[in-house]
Amino acid sequence: MLPPSFSLLLLLLLSPPSLFLSLAKPWPARRSPTGHPPPPPPSTTPPPPPPSPSSPRPRPRRTGGPSPNPTRPSTSRSPTTTAPAPSRTSPSSFHRNADYSDLSSYSYNSTSSSCVDSSTASLARPRHALYVSSSLSSSALTDLIWVLVITLILSVPICFSLLLLLKHYAKQVVYASLPFFVLLPVFLNVYWFVACTVSSSCSDDFPLVYRILVLVFVFLVVAVIVWIFVANWHRIELTVRIIRVASDALSRNLALFWVLPCMTLGLLIYYAPIIVFLVLARQNGDIVATESDGEYTCEWKQDSWVPAYFALAILTMLWSLTVAIEAQVYVISGTIAQWYFSKEDTPPRKSIRSSLRNAFGPSSGTICLSGLLICVVRMVRTIVDGAKREDAPGFVNIVLRCCVNAFLWAIEFLNKFTITFAAITGEAYCTSARMTYELLKRNLLSAVFVETISTRLLAGIVFVFSAIYAVVVWAILEGVSDLGVDSYLVAVLAWVLLIVVLGFFIHVLDDVIDTVYVCYAVDRDRGEVCKQDVHEVYVHLPLSRNSRSSLVSRNLAV
């Protein structure tokens, strides 16, 4: 299995030569819509004298291309000249057409049966740029930028503060956040209903019947949340202890918070040449006149190779994204596993460097295969969801969708623990998948418990912290600025940004929880106790089976 880096190399090798040449040479000032350079200006030299009758008649020079069809409309710079269509039978047909950005300025000319450039196009662009620049200088946008920058800066200490709180005061944080899971949705629901009723414009656009339906629906959702808490109340205490253990493990490997963003930055750098060539490839084509209901319009027609190039590039980007996610999980799992299996008095050294070396070295094929599997699963799930939105009738279709979704969920669940197991043992993907299946077969209920309960509880804590921050931002904006209704939008965007940053923190902590669970299961199958405090917590997990056959017979690659 080739890693995505080879896919990028293949993508570059398959790129048309003009894509590379367009980066090395300056763009022409203007080209005709068909991609051919404009005709040279007329010469001022006098024409040669006509040949004498006795001189031989010169033979016409063949161009090698087919003569243009006089009945087919084509594009042209001049209303009196029809440019021939470019040949698409040789590599020279790969060309970048600079008129792609000026497509809206072309209109069909019935006199010349071609698409001609409108003279008003050059005047429309400055007005549009002036409008954009005036909107960028508004006070609301300035306040929004400042709020987002401050939120991004404050998100770093907020993440570390939340980590320390979960490490030392996990029980207090969880039980203090539980009431807000209910109070915040109820408050926002009632506030929105009253504000929309008071506002004349909102009440006119949103009738009272629909407002009542939304109000009742939100209250039903809150009732479901309350029922989930009541049904799982006996599990919350154990979940709190699991979160505290994982927070302690993450606090001992804080360098992960710097390595993982750097890996994300590396993915963006990897995307840069692909995006550049996608932009250049899209400009390969012609402006052609098409007939629809007896009327001719000017449309952009891409070259035949562009759709295939787009498909290859998009698949490469999707696969690279899933590989990057799996690589992050591998690095987190390998680092936490080395901390878990080390002695208390001798903490591991260079654990992150070792995990990175293994991820991009011996285990790169395992990570790429895992990323490819997840990419295929996500694409199939997208297709299934699209078929679901089409409302295909029939009981058989519903059963098939349920079976496919259950199968895809099982693959994702097994793959998640497979990468963790591969980072711990250093085994290949298939071997790790088989050993992970044996592990989950004996401890499936506890794995599901760790997977679902802790993740949902952490997501609720992030929602509460972000909502409180958004309310504080809105109150400050109302007191120090005159944004009016725009203050709600600024507060919502700050809330979304903080949720994204804290969501990354929760994603890392969630992977740590899964890694500690797998380490505990391996430790228990080997009959050893590497971390006594972890065993004291995870021993209370519910089990589906009580068999204790040996799982790992090889030395751990830590």
Range of the domain at 503: 139-168+234-286+302-538
Asked if residue 52 belongs to a domain, the reply is no
Q: Are 197 and 256 members of one domain?
A: no
Q: Which residues contact 118 (CB under 8 A, 6 or more apart)?
A: 105, 106, 107
CB contact at 8 A, 191 and 474? no
Do 164 and 175 lie in one domain? The reply is: no
Which of 192, 211, 231 marks a domain boundary?
Answer: 231
Q: Per residue of the chain (558 residues), what is the pLDDT tens digit?
A: 445 554 544 454 444 444 444 444 444 444 444 444 444 555 445 555 555 444 444 444 443 444 444 444 444 444 433 343 444 434 444 566 666 566 566 666 666 666 666 654 444 444 444 343 444 446 778 888 888 999 999 999 999 999 999 999 988 998 888 888 888 888 888 888 888 888 877 777 788 888 888 889 989 988 988 888 888 787 888 888 999 999 999 998 888 989 999 999 999 999 999 999 988 888 787 777 776 676 667 777 777 888 898 999 999 999 999 999 999 999 999 999 999 988 776 777 888 899 999 999 999 999 999 999 999 988 888 887 777 666 656 677 777 778 888 888 888 888 888 999 999 988 888 998 888 888 877 766 566 666 677 888 888 899 889 989 998 998 898 888 777 777 888 888 999 999 999 999 999 999 999 899 888 888 888 888 888 888 888 888 776 544 443 333 444 444
Please indicate, yes or no, whether residues 210 and 312 belong to a single structural domain of this protein.
Answer: no
Are residues 528 and 475 part of one domain? Answer: yes
d(CA 59, CA 63): 13
Do 174 and 260 belong to one domain?
no
- Clarify whether residues 397 and 416 are in a common domain: yes
Q: What is the rounded CA–CA span in Å between residue 538 and residue 525? A: 14
The answer to whether residue 403 is domain-embedded is yes
CA–CA separation, 183 and 370 (whole Å): 41
483 and 401 in a single domain? The answer is yes
**Domains in the chain, number:** 2
**Same domain (yes/no): 444, 471:** yes
Find residue 116's DSSP bridge partners. 107
Calculate the dihedral angle through the C-alpha atoms of 62, 65, 69, 75, rounding to the nearest 10 degrees.
-110
Mean of all residue pLDDT scores within the chain = 75
On whether both 385 and 440 belong to a single domain, the answer is yes
Q: Would residue 436 count as lying in a domain?
A: yes
Strands (E), 198-245: none
Determine, yes or no, domain membership for 189. Answer: yes
**Is residue 440 in some structural domain?**
yes
Q: Return the DSSP state at 77.
A: S
Q: Are residues 357 and 259 in the same domain?
A: yes
* 381 and 488 co-located in one domain: yes
278 and 189 within one domain: no
